[in-house]
Amino acid sequence: MTLQDQASQAVARRDDSPAGLIKQYSNSFEAVLPSHIKPATWVRLAQGALKKGKRTGSGQTELEIAAANNPAVFLASLLDAARLGLEPGTEQYYLTPRKVKGRLEILGIVGYQGIIELIYRAGAVSSVIAEVVYEKDVFRYQPGRDETPTHEIDWDSEDRGKLRLVYAYARMKDGAFSRVVVLNRADINRIKASAQGSGSEYSPWQQHEAAMWLKSAVRQLAKWVPTSAEYIREQLRAVRDVQNEGAQCQGPGAPEGFAPRSIDDVIDAEVVDTEHGQVDTVTGEVLDPDDYDAPPAGFFEQQEQGA
């Protein structure tokens, strides 16, 4: 058998199904996944996500059809999820079908749990509180007077009414509270109107309305708390610099009256995340995948060749 025949057979055996593509480019995803996530587990989750949702007459799910219709967009969405270290096909990172020129394609959307995961991962927050408020709930909060909202729910009620408000805040590890974000229906409607494909039958805005209200609030909260792993590195650098400064300026030759700074004197600098590009470097806002730059041409092929 000639080399050409062997190559032809290899191509014929190659699994170009969406699940097969995930396995085929697993090295590309591994290259951008955070170190605390096991690539093999993440790949299995991504493959399993394709099996969720409505099935068509052919036996395939709508996600499988959408992924097969435009593999490049599908892989780019997974790449975004991998860069963020979020689980695709969950409320951390939605994989939803959308119609483009009459054909289904994959749209990746960061969910509210994904934003909360990024906030926790930064290491400065001990807890995040995010809740929707319905018409029959009791809600009180006055900025400048109340540290946190008062939210009373009648858990025995079978009907809490329509969605009315959503709020989110964080308790920092030093015991302080972050800014409290409160959004009403008018705020949510403005956000929804600016979201691509929000009117589609496949949009999370249609299928998971409360979750998208929560995402809107948590996304605003992300402007006021660290969401980047770079935050941890900055804190470690600050500790190291303080310790080095103290070691160099103690003992013989130290300036008279000099007192080394304590770690409490270190002021948090602006957090800049340039490694992944998924968090706005000025506001800390987690961006939707449509705001990301697409992976450069040949990215997956280069990763595969370098593996």
Together in a domain, 119 and 217: yes
Together in a domain, 223 and 117: yes
Which of 40-54, 238-252, 287-301 holds the top average pLDDT? Answer: 40-54
Query: Which DSSP string corresponds to 55-115?
Result: B-TTS-BHHHHHHHH-HHHHHHHHHHHHHHT--BTSSSEEEEEEEETTEEEEEEEE-HHHH
How many distinct structural domains can be found in the chain?
A: 2
Whole-number average pLDDT of the chain: 78
In a domain, 41, yes or no: yes
- Closest by alpha carbon to 289, among 31, 82, 143? 82
What average pLDDT does range 198-210 have in this prediction?
Answer: 86
Which amino acid is located at 42 in the chain?
W
In a domain, 268, yes or no: no
3 or 61: whose pLDDT is higher? 61
pLDDT digits (tens, 9 = 90+) for 99-136: 888 889 998 999 999 999 999 988 889 999 999 999 99
Question: Which of 227, 256, 272 lies at the terminal end of a domain, its last residue?
Answer: 227
pLDDT digits (tens, 9 = 90+) for 243-278: 565 555 555 554 454 344 333 333 332 333 333 334
40 or 261: whose pLDDT is higher? 40
Question: Which of 170, 196, 227 lies at the terminal end of a domain, its last residue?
Answer: 227
In a domain, 99, yes or no: yes
- Closest by alpha carbon to 89, among 40, 41, 51? 51
Together in a domain, 64 and 149: no
In a domain, 212, yes or no: yes
Which two tokens mark 175? Answer: 């015991």
With H, G, I as helix, E, B as strand and everything else as coil, classify residue 267: coil
Tokens 């470097």 correspond to 281
Cβ pair 283, 271 in contact under 8 A: no
In a domain, 241, yes or no: no
Together in a domain, 44 and 129: no
pLDDT digits (tens, 9 = 90+) for 262-271: 333 333 323 3
Tokens 């001990």 correspond to 126
Together in a domain, 69 and 53: yes
Tokens 């995040």 correspond to 128
Range of the domain at 89: 3-110+295-306
Question: Which of 175, 193, 227 lies at the terminal end of a domain, its last residue?
Answer: 227
Q: Is the pLDDT of residue 14 over 70?
A: no
pLDDT digits (tens, 9 = 90+) for 161-177: 999 999 999 999 999 99
Is the dihedral angle over the CA atoms 121, 125, 126, 127 positive or is it negative?
A: negative
With H, G, I as helix, E, B as strand and everything else as coil, classify residue 151: strand
In a domain, 289, yes or no: no
Q: Is the pLDDT of residue 200 over 70?
A: yes
